[in-house]
Amino acid sequence: MSTDKTFSMIKPMAVKKGYIGPILSKITEGGFQIVGMKYTQLSKEQAEEFYGVHKGRPFFESLVTFMSSGPIVALALKKENAVSDFRTLIGATNPAEAAEGTIRRMFAETIDANAVHGSDSDENAQIETSFFFSQRELHNVDLIDAKQYTVCEKS
Ligand code: CMP
């Protein structure tokens, strides 16, 4: 049975290009609720640990160098069928192969700087979320319809 949680990171190049806002909009418009969010930078050692599963692959060194080159946004996300739906929303790993309208197609150019990371399984979503967040940094909010709540009436 799939859980309703996934993990994502907005990668350094997308942050540098000013895409945090537009990418977060695509994520929430896609029906995902943000339950944890952190603006931070990975050390080289932390990037090596996070991507440890890829150690030994030809792209590992450049991936680690890139991922520790600037700030990232770590995101804990919630939605029914989260892992699979999020991977559909972001598109193929290589932006050149990503479908029209996906986040990677819209905001990325290269396979390393592919704008966002998305967990590939429920198990990894859990591991990756706890890499960045403690339990008290995750907040489950029942969203309300903003149109029903007028904060300030015009006089
Ligand atoms: P991500 O979803 O963050 O997971 C691992 C990352 O390795 C991937 O996105 C890409 O940015 C990067 N990468 C670079 N080259 C490759 C490759 N040939 N195959 C898979 N991932 C790659």
**For residue range 64-116, what is the model confidence (pLDDT) as tens digits?**
999 999 999 999 999 999 999 999 999 999 999 999 999 999 999 899 999 99
57 lines ligand 1 (CB under 6 A): no
Give 155's pLDDT tier (boundaries 50, 70, 90): low
Mean pLDDT value across residues 109-131:
97
122 lines ligand 1 (CB under 6 A): no
Nearest CA to ligand 1 atom 11: 112
63 lines ligand 1 (CB under 6 A): yes
- Global confidence as pTM: 0.93
Closest approach atom of ligand 1 to CA 114: 11
Q: Give the 3-state secondary structure of the chain.
A: CCCCEEEEEECHHHHHCCCHHHHHHHHHHCCCEEEEEEEECCCHHHHHHHCHHHCCCCCHHHHHHHHCCCCEEEEEEECCCHHHHHHHHHCCCCHHHCCCCCHHHHHCCCCCCCCEEECCCHHHHHHHHHHHCCHHHCCCCCCCCHHHCCCCCCC
Mean of pLDDT over the chain:
95
What CATH number labels 5-148? 3.30.70.141
